[in-house]
Amino acid sequence: MTDPVLQADGLTKRYGRRVALADCTVDVPPGRVVGLVGPNGAGKTTLLQLTVGMLTPTAGRITVLGGRPGDGPGQLAKVGFVAQDAPTYAGLSIADHLRFGARTNPRWDQALADERIAQLGLDPAQKAGRLSGGQRAQLALTMAVAKRPELLILDEPVASLDPIARREFLRGLMAHAAEHGSSVILSSHLVSDLERVCDYLIVLTASRVRVAGDIEELMGSHYRLTGARRNAADLPAGAEMIEHSFTERQSTFIVRSVVPIEDTSLTVEQLTLEDVVLAYLSRSVEAHRPELEISR
């Protein structure tokens, strides 16, 4: 059995009393394009920074490609990272960036870097500070993939890009993953982007992993059930309730079930990926909403 590219067990990160990530347990299989989704403050960036070794955990364990994150040049060379806003050096040219990459990465592929820059139609002499947001993101991606990493991590790299630039960035990412077989973890708020490029999903809310798994399996095991009003306790056996809503006469449930729902009193619908994500996000909001005491 192939080892996970990322394995976390009880992974926790605190800053004083504030918990940035709590009891994160997840195994990410190799060769997958993983979508990491959750609201602001959910812990996505914390998890990714722990994965690349920029942070150390308060509790729990994490291994990346069989080693400790950031543990020496060999481990660092295995992981490519594009942080939020795709940081580049404004005063350096594209060629300067590539020379810097060649000097600092033992597995650097200059031919790959040059080919990507040429395909993007960028002038190597141009300063990074004069590039558009999409061009800077593509330069940052080039720097990451030319390392020839086994795992490529991207922390919301397309959040600030326009739709055309976002599409081109994702197209380049997918071409790299398909050609070189790298594992990818992509954090994003944009479920439509994740649905286009990812085959594995992690939903992180309120500093905790709510669900993780193969996207095809998740979509095949989540259903919307609609029928006459009933209690959640009356759901079919084996159905785990994720979200619910009621009208005076009708109940609607989002459930997870590993067996088909065969209750003829219910209308059963498959869900989109966005439906699944929103159900878990809503579940987290409800779980953390304070109870209100109504004065009479």
Residue 288 scores a pLDDT above 70? no
Q: Could you say which DSSP state residue 72 is in?
A: H
Residue 3 scores a pLDDT above 90? no
Residue 284 has a pLDDT of 58
Token pair, residue 241, equals: 């309730």
Of the candidates 276, 290, 164, 165, the residue with the CA atom closest to the CA atom of residue 220: 276
Per domain, the residue ranges of the chain are 6-216, 221-288
Residue 232 scores a pLDDT above 80? yes
Q: Specify which residues 202 forms β-bridges with.
A: 36, 212
Q: What is the CATH number of domain 6-216?
A: 3.40.50.300
Q: Where is 162: in which H helix or E strand?
A: none
Give the range among 159-168, 198-207, 256-265 with minimum mean pLDDT: 159-168
Residue 21 scores a pLDDT above 70? yes
Residue 289 has a pLDDT of 42
Q: Could you say which DSSP state residue 69 is in?
A: T
Residue 294 scores a pLDDT above 70? no
CA atoms in the 13 A half-sphere facing the CB of 254? 21
Token pair, residue 117, equals: 């820059």
Q: In Å, what is the CA distance from 253 to each residue of 7, 176, 202, 218, 281?
A: 32, 40, 22, 16, 15
Give the range among 22-36, 107-121, 150-164 with minimum mean pLDDT: 150-164
Handedness of CA 272, 273, 278, 279 (dihedral sign): positive
What predicted TM-score, i.e. pTM, was given to this entire model? 0.87
Residue 202 has a pLDDT of 95
Q: Side chain identity at 282, as an amino acid letter?
A: S
Residue 117 has a pLDDT of 95
Residue 176 scores a pLDDT above 50? yes
Give the E-state strand segments of the chain in sequence order.
6-15, 18-28, 33-37, 59-64, 79-82, 151-155, 183-187, 200-205, 208-214, 222-228, 240-246, 250-256, 267-270
Average pLDDT (116-134) is: 93
Residue 184 scores a pLDDT above 60? yes
pLDDT band (50, 70, 90) for residue 166: confident
Residue 100 has a pLDDT of 95
The DSSP-derived string for 179-198 is: HH--EEEEE-S-HHHHHHH-
Average pLDDT (189-206) is: 88
